[in-house]
Amino acid sequence: MRLALAALLALVAGAFALAAPAAASETRPTPAELESELVCPVCESTLDTSSAPIARRMKAVIRQRIAEGRTKSEIKAEFVEQFGPGVLATPPRSGFDLLAWVLPLVGGAAAVAVVGLLTWRWSRRRGEEAEPEPAPRPDPELERRLDAELARFE
């Protein structure tokens, strides 16, 4: 009982330890965080890898909004309002866009299932082939002649 309680407390403490940096990231984002999560509308690469003029302007706006004390969600919402949802590097995890998160997982699970099924069928077939058929008995006349030829060499 004490072990279960200790494990539960450790789990809760770990959750709080991981939640604190995430909350800090939301209230005090860094330019690098936002630049990796937003896409340049011209070259369609993330802002941290883009050197297009609009990307440089977007980076300046990000720094300005951070200096004003805006949260990560507010800054992202401003860019989505201005450029549309295509400005986000990852699709939202809601509505129709949820398919972009779910379909790869379903496809991966289906691929694993198909490979597992094919492997199982292959191994079953190989097991059946491993049992050799008994060799047919030779003709008695042929056997007698073979014995006579072998005896000649002894």
Residue 49 sits in a domain whose CATH number is 1.10.8.640
Q: Compute φ and ψ for 132, nearest 5 degrees.
A: -75, 150
Mean pLDDT of the chain: 82
Taking alpha carbons only, the member of 67, 19, 86 closest to residue 76 is: 86
- Segment of 9-13, 124-128, 145-149 carrying the highest mean pLDDT: 145-149
pLDDT at res. 133: 73
pLDDT at res. 112: 96
User: Could you tell me the pLDDT band of residue 96, with boundaries at 50, 70 and 90?
Assistant: confident
Whether residues 78 and 110 share a domain: the answer is no
Q: Is 118 left (phi over 0), alpha (psi -120 to 50) or beta?
A: alpha
| Residue pair 7/42 in contact by the 8 Å Cβ criterion | no
pLDDT at res. 106: 92
pLDDT at res. 19: 45
pLDDT tens readout for residues 97-139: 788 788 899 999 999 999 999 999 888 876 666 566 777 887 8
Whether residues 98 and 43 share a domain: the answer is no
Alpha-carbon gap, residue 55 to 51, rounded angstroms: 6
pLDDT at res. 53: 92
What is the rounded (10 degree) CA torsion for 47, 53, 54, 55?
10
Specify burial of residue 152 (Cβ count, 10 A radius: 0-12, 13-18, 19+). exposed
Whether residues 81 and 17 share a domain: the answer is yes
- Number of structural domains, the chain? 2
Whether residues 74 and 102 share a domain: the answer is no
Q: How many CA atoms lie within 13 A of 89 on its CB side?
A: 14
Whether residues 69 and 28 share a domain: the answer is yes
User: Could you tell me the pLDDT band of residue 61, with boundaries at 50, 70 and 90?
Assistant: very high
Give the predicted TM-score (pTM) of the model: 0.52
Q: Within a domain: residue 1?
A: no
Domain range enclosing 116: 91-129
Q: Within a domain: residue 134?
A: no
Only one residue has tokens 């984002």, namely 29
Q: Within a domain: residue 151?
A: no
Only one residue has tokens 């340049």, namely 40
- CA R_g for the chain: 34
